Amino acid sequence: MKPIQVGLLGAGVVGTGTFVVLQRNQEEIRRRAGREIRISHIADLDTERASALAAGAAEVTADARSVIARPEIDVVVELIGGTGVARSLVLEAIAAGKHVVTANKALLAIHGTEIFAAAREKGVVVAFEAAVAGGIPIIKALREGLTANRIEWIAGIINGTTNFILSEMRARGIDFAQALAEAQRLGYAEADPSFDIEGIDAAHKATLVSAIAFGVPVQFAKAYVEGITQLQSADIAYAEQLGYRIKLLAITKRRDAIEGRSAGAIELRVHPTLVPAKRLIANVEGAMNAVLVQGDAVGTTLYYGKGAGAEPTASAVIADLVDLARLATADPDHRVPHLAFQPAAMQDLSVLPIDEVVTSFYLRLQVADVAGVLARLTGILAEHGISIDAMLQRPAEIGAHEGAARTDVIILTHDTVEGRMTKAMAAMQALPTVLARIVRIRKEDLG
């Protein structure tokens, strides 16, 4: 059978990995796919780099559009990244009737509705296993292995850079800036690491996962996103004393009956989170990724692996190419739809505002060590209907605040609605005995 012909746009880290792995495992991949998958054309502005990679086995050009326009190309692999030129090229490839494989989470999280609609119109597939958690086949797990389940929630460490930084902060007791510098020195973080450390990269990925899990449109703009830049090593240490680790979790959850919302809703949020130290996911260290999925039939499942890097990401890109090779020989009317749900079955569930999300909380309050402070704090929590789970108070130190001793009070709460906590925090913050901005970190038991 004739090979599937692939046009590769972008010969950077992942493009190189894809080309190398396809060549190295060519025979095995051919047997699995039922036909050869051949990268016949590579487009990259750096033609010297692309030519060195192709080594005569593929045609090289700086003009991506000329690759898309070639009639013999069946699949376009977009590994350029970003939401500018990549968006135009993906839409052009779809318009030319080509299937698309991409690792571009930002593109799909922001322009997914437009791109999937265009693909549906043309009857082509846009596959994106590599866009979420690199080498972990989480998209296929959700669409295929777990397809019998009603997904209840997903919680994941899906940004390796921030997990590396948090691991270093905890293990070495260093602060955020030092850990970030270390991540940059080792090549984990970009020179401009803002997408990673502000939680945006994880939110792009969570947006895609929530669309697949719950059959809702991609709606990145409605995600609640909080990164790790404000996280202090003191809070990591206090959390540890209480039996927790702090992880940057991406969480999406189904919420059924909620007052005032007839159709239910979903949660879509990324923020630092206290996780019981005994949970497997709390022990995922360094740049590794892990995703927990709770399905009604299967229970809790955990997927762990490398979320970035040349060959782990190539592994996911090639898995999509193999799927496409199989589909090309199957009935085109029964292609797996883009977001795992047929368009008519998509639901219009709203994304809950963060004020309506229910979690428990870690609070750290720096207070003057005078009589009645604790009683006032616990009184405010009680007035707002918030129940305390645990407390920790450090021995007082003499501070600069008018000569009074100051101390850290750590409070863990039971579950409460975020909006209620926000009001209670405002009341506590207004007390003259609360000496610094109150630190609030959400907590999930993930049981």
Can you give the binding site for ligand HSE, defined by CB under 6 A?
159-161, 196, 201, 307-308
Strand bridging mode 358-368 / 405-413 = antiparallel
Q: What are phi and psi of 277, to 5 degrees?
A: -60, -20
Tell me how far, at minimum, the Cβ of 390 lies from ligand HSE, in Å: 32
CA distances from 56 to 15, 39, 49, 52, 189 (A): 16, 11, 13, 8, 33
Instruction: Establish whether 205 is a catalytic residue.
Output: yes
Give the nearer residue to ligand HSE in terms of CB position, either 286 or 353.
286
Helix, strand, or coil here: 134? coil
Least CB distance from residue 301 to ligand HSE, whole Å? 21
Q: Which is nearer to ligand HSE, 73 or 165 (CB)?
A: 165
Nearer to ligand HSE, 252 or 366 (CB): 252
CB of 15 to ligand HSE, least distance (A): 14
Return d(Cα 55, Cα 265) in angstroms, integer. 52
Phi and psi at 188, nearest 5°, equal -75, -40
Residues β-bridged to residue 151: 295
Nearer to ligand HSE by Cβ, of 128 and 362: the residue is 128
Q: How far is the CB of 177 from ligand HSE (least distance, A)?
A: 18
Q: Contact, 69 vs 76, CB < 8 A?
A: no
Min CB(126)–ligand HSE separation in Å: 18
Dihedral sign for Cα 104, 109, 111, 113, please: positive
Crossing angle of helices 13-24 and 47-54, in 10° steps, is 10
State the catalytic residue, choosing from 98, 105, 140, 205. 205
What distance in Å separates the CA atoms of residue 208 and residue 291, rounded to the nearest whole number? 13
Between 308 and 365, whose beta carbon lies closer to ligand HSE? 308
CB of 133 to ligand HSE, least distance (A): 8
Contact by Cβ (8 Å): 212, 131:
no
Closest to ligand HSE by CB, 190 or 389: 190
Alpha-carbon distance 326 to 307, whole Å?
A: 26
Give the distance from CA 390 to its chain's centroid. Answer: 30
- Exposure string over 66-90, b if 16+ CB within 10 A, otherwise e: ebbeeeebbbbbbbbbeeeebbebb
- Find the shortest distance in angstroms from Cβ 132 to ligand HSE: 8
- Contact (CB, 8 A) for 236 and 246: yes
Sign, Cα dihedral of 224, 228, 230, 233: positive
62 vs 186, which CB is nearer to ligand HSE? 186
Q: How far is CA 111 from CA 105, 339, 386, 410, in A?
A: 10, 14, 40, 42
- Residue positions annotated with a catalytic role: 205
